[in-house]
Structure 1
């Protein structure tokens, strides 16, 4: 049986939900906070999403599908990276859930990634996502 460890990163951002949402869905901002990737999607439920970039000199195209969109509040998509070295089958895909909670003058951004096979894998993912949400904060607060 495969385990399902969840990696979760949260950060409080001194910006309204609408601003944080705009950062999360703007291709220019995504390129800035998501390791230089170019994103392709129309943000509609059921639509594909592709992130293209170069990691350690190797071009890649991560793929997924948009599962939920609640503008300003919640975005859920699947994610698969060929850089994982795994086969692109459902059991090797993650679900990324982005949640924006209004906290008055700030927004709590939470990003969770499911389907990590071990505690160590979840901790590795959390470290990567901690860096990413910090970058979202920096962009949103400019």
Structure 2
């Protein structure tokens, strides 16, 4: 997908399996307060719903790749699905001793500023994953 890429990464003191379960089974706990619904199988839908900055939303996407506990790739779009409005979200988990290195990126950002803003949000998301996985 075109556009600028937002990247974030974090070290988590938990196994890749525990981090994977946090991203999938506990998705609603680590996604900015959104309710997240999916069965996390390739071809399945993903729906994020809730409130962001005082406004209700329902975002949608599709699971493109799910290789537990190493790689999860999703599409994501907000509002009406228009050409060029879709993002691809990629999680890569790598075991590091007893812990996990989690890399994340989102493509399809229209500007460098949008990518920078997304990076800040995704860092918060990864911090929430870390906190939940380490609990």
Normalising by the smaller structure, the TM-score range is over 0.9
The yes-or-no answer on 1:96 pairing with 2:89 is yes
Give the ranges of 4+ consecutive aligned residues of structure 1 lying more than 2 Å apart after TM superposition: none
| RMSD across aligned positions (CA) | 1.4
Give the number of the structure whose residues are more often helix, by fraction: 1
Question: Would the aligned equivalents of 2:2 and 2:107 in 1 still touch at CA under 8 Å?
Answer: no
Equivalent-residue separation in structure 2 for 1:46 and 1:114 (angstroms): 19
In the comparison of the two structures, how many residue pairs are matched? 135
Bigger mean CA deviation after superposition, 87-96 or 8-17: 87-96
- 3-state SS in 2 of match to 1:133: helix
Contact 1:3-1:118 at 8 Å conserved across structures: no
Q: Is the 8 A contact 2:78 2:85 kept in 1?
A: no
Distance 1:139 1:101 in 2: 18
Gap runs ≥5 in structure 1? none
**What TM-score does the superposition give when structure 2 sets the normalisation length?**
0.94
Contact 1:50 1:64 in 2 (8 A): yes
Q: Normalised by the size of structure 1, how large is the TM-score?
A: 0.90
1:106 to 99, 105, 115: 99
What residue ranges of structure 2 are gaps of 5+ in the alignment?
Answer: none
